[in-house]
Structure 1
Amino acid sequence: MHSQSHLEDLRELTVEEVREYCQANPEYVHETDGSGETPLMSACLLGRTELVRVLLEFGGQVNYIADDGDTPLKMAIEGCNEQSFNRELFDLLLTAGANPNAGLFPAFHLAVGRGLYDVVRFLAEHGADPNLRDADDSPPLFWAGVYSNSPNVKMMGLLVNLGADINQCDGVGRTIEQRFGREVMIEVQRHSER
């Protein structure tokens, strides 16, 4: 590969070119670039399912955790939005053993914070824990509340429907009601009853 970034390389290369390179350089799948990402992570960010498949075939580590806490699954989440949820890519990663609960700030929390409803449902169906706490001791409910400018009560309601404890506290001991107010708590309950 030619650049300091797997992302730049993989954006330009065909699946067959990557396959040939991996055959000639089997260690490539484990190399990190200047940002600490593996080729698998970059392919996930780009949403290139067939490249991901090739990199997994050659031993790409599906649960690799970069120094900044990113994982291939988190990179796939970074690369999508609600209109571009690549179910095949996520299914491939999860079938290969990707853990939606891994890392200091798990992929599930990121999907919640970004408001990716389909991704959140999909990850929950594949073992994501709606009560798992991140490195700051915050459960996903609070990511739905603080990641954007205002609490995403629809996402909070979905999390409650998926089994999140509405009475849990954040890392400093505040409940949803204490952190966001009574009106938000009522809206969350309303959305969870649908």
Structure 2
Amino acid sequence: MGRDTEGFVVYSENCLARFQTPLKPPQPPVIGKASHHSIELSWENEGYARQGPPERWTIFSIEKMDQKSRTYGTVYVGYSNHYSAEGLEPHTHYLFRLRITSPTGESLYSPPVSAFTTREPLSGKNLHQAVNMNDEEEVNKVLQSGTVYVNGTDKLGLTPLMLAAQKGYTRIVHKLVEYGADVNMKNGSGKDSLMLACFAGHLDIVKYLRRFGATWQSRDMGGCSPLHWAADGGHLAIIAYMIQDGCELDVRDDVSRWTPLMRLSAVSGNPAVASLLIRAGADVNTRDKDGKTPLMVAVLNNQEKLVQLLLDSGADRHVKNEFGSGAAEMANAFGRENIIKLLEERKSIEH
């Protein structure tokens, strides 16, 4: 028993002596791989107590300086020799230090080490922001990175090309097409870049998109064509170019079976656009799914100047819709006094 007791005492004293050996001052953590949100750190753990149960091991802690308070906070405690700091801010400077703690509670700190996260990878969001700001330099930078999908859509379903075409940013449109932007890609409502440019009135972009494969035959979800949208926008130069380029004049949508002239009769009533379409050969007596003509639609929407133009251009005031009503009945039903007068004058001239 005495020998066992003496042996135990000797063992305990040896352990205690080992634990009380002065700690070796630690070197700063070594910076490993860094990304835009993480930094890997490693350190030497050889030569420190690591025998027996874990409570007799040397403890390693990584501390990170808080940028605002300029004080250190512990982000890791354990027995490993590596740690990855996650959730960091991109393109930011950080300071780390290593603390070692012996089984007896003694602690030593390493000098701090500097580390930087990388810039956040360029994304479709960066490209959309650059296009929206008409920032050619930034657009070039993002496209040249080779990491961004040029046809990615924003929360409104617009590609960068659609956005540039809509806003009239010609040089950016050219650059996007150069990098493979799809000129025929459509948003959620079925509109492509050509339709958006036609509606917004950007003739140079319309011509450019045509050169690179945009087609007058494209349709949105309602069956409207680029000419429908150009008529809605009221841009005479674009419509004149479309006519010259062979665009179909009496193309119909899928909902009401309206041609651009009929849609114009309902929406804007623009006489200048209507005159251009009519002179090019648009049918003034075409009918929609309910048998209405452009004249009837113009009467219903109180487009007085357009009614006069249509009558002067050969619109037939005698035509009835599927319910037996004509332009005169519609004008009377809605009390369109000026239009009633126009129709009466036309009637007297015919007789």
Q: Does 1:90 align with 2:206?
A: yes
Counterpart selection for 1:138 from 218, 242, 258: 258
Q: Which residue of 2 aligns with 1:167?
A: 285
1:174 Cα deviation from its structure 2 partner: 0.8
1:60 Cα deviation from its structure 2 partner: 0.8
175-184 vs 102-111, which moves further:
175-184
Q: Which residue of 2 aligns with 1:68?
A: 189
The total of aligned residue pairs comes to 185
Inter-CA distance 108–7: structure 2 relative to 1 (3 Å threshold): farther
Aligned equivalents of 1:15 and 1:178: distance in 2? 48
Contact 1:142 1:176 in 2 (8 A): yes
Contact 1:109 1:140 in 2 (8 A): yes
111-120 vs 26-35, which moves further:
26-35
1:120 Cα deviation from its structure 2 partner: 0.9
1:170 Cα deviation from its structure 2 partner: 2.0
User: In angstroms, what is the RMSD of aligned CA positions?
Assistant: 2.6
1:178 Cα deviation from its structure 2 partner: 3.0
Inter-CA distance 4–79: structure 2 relative to 1 (3 Å threshold): farther
Q: Which residue of 2 aligns with 1:124?
A: 243
Q: Which residue of 1 aligns with 2:149?
A: 28
Aligned equivalents of 1:43 and 1:124: distance in 2? 24
Q: Which residue of 2 aligns with 1:105?
A: 224
TM-score of the aligned structures, taking structure 2 as reference length? 0.48
Contact 1:158 1:191 in 2 (8 A): no
Aligned equivalents of 2:245 and 2:147: distance in 1? 30
1:37 Cα deviation from its structure 2 partner: 0.8
Contact 1:7 1:43 in 2 (8 A): no
Q: Give the letter for the 1:167 counterpart.
A: N
Contact 2:124 2:150 in 1 (8 A): no
Q: Any stretches of 5+ residues in structure 2 without a counterpart?
A: 1-121, 315-351
Q: Which residue of 2 aligns with 1:52?
A: 173
Structure number with the higher strand fraction is 2
Describe the superposition over 1:94-118 as per-residue Cα deviations: whole angstroms up to 9, x where unpaired: 1112113311222210111222111
Aligned equivalents of 1:21 and 1:10: distance in 2? 10
180-189 vs 46-55, which moves further:
180-189
Contact 2:262 2:293 in 1 (8 A): no
Structure of higher RCO (CA pairs closer than 8 Å, 6+ residues apart):
1
Aligned equivalents of 2:185 and 2:242: distance in 1? 18
Inter-CA distance 141–78: structure 2 relative to 1 (3 Å threshold): closer
Inter-CA distance 47–135: structure 2 relative to 1 (3 Å threshold): same
Structure number with the higher helix fraction is 1
1:50 Cα deviation from its structure 2 partner: 0.7
Q: Which residue of 1 aligns with 2:298?
A: 180
Describe the superposition over 1:56-93 as per-residue Cα deviations: whole angstroms up to 9, x where unpaired: 1111111112121211012223433xxxxx43222111
Contact 2:231 2:239 in 1 (8 A): yes
Structure 2 counterpart SS, 1:32: coil
Inter-CA distance 52–167: structure 2 relative to 1 (3 Å threshold): same
Counterpart selection for 2:139 from 2, 18, 26: 18
Aligned equivalents of 1:153 and 1:79: distance in 2? 19
Contact 1:74 1:110 in 2 (8 A): yes
What is the aligned-residue identity percentage? 25
Aligned equivalents of 1:9 and 1:17: distance in 2? 6
Aligned equivalents of 1:23 and 1:93: distance in 2? 22
Contact 1:145 1:153 in 2 (8 A): no
Aligned equivalents of 2:168 and 2:290: distance in 1? 36
1:51 Cα deviation from its structure 2 partner: 0.5
Q: Give the letter for the 1:102 counterpart.
A: S
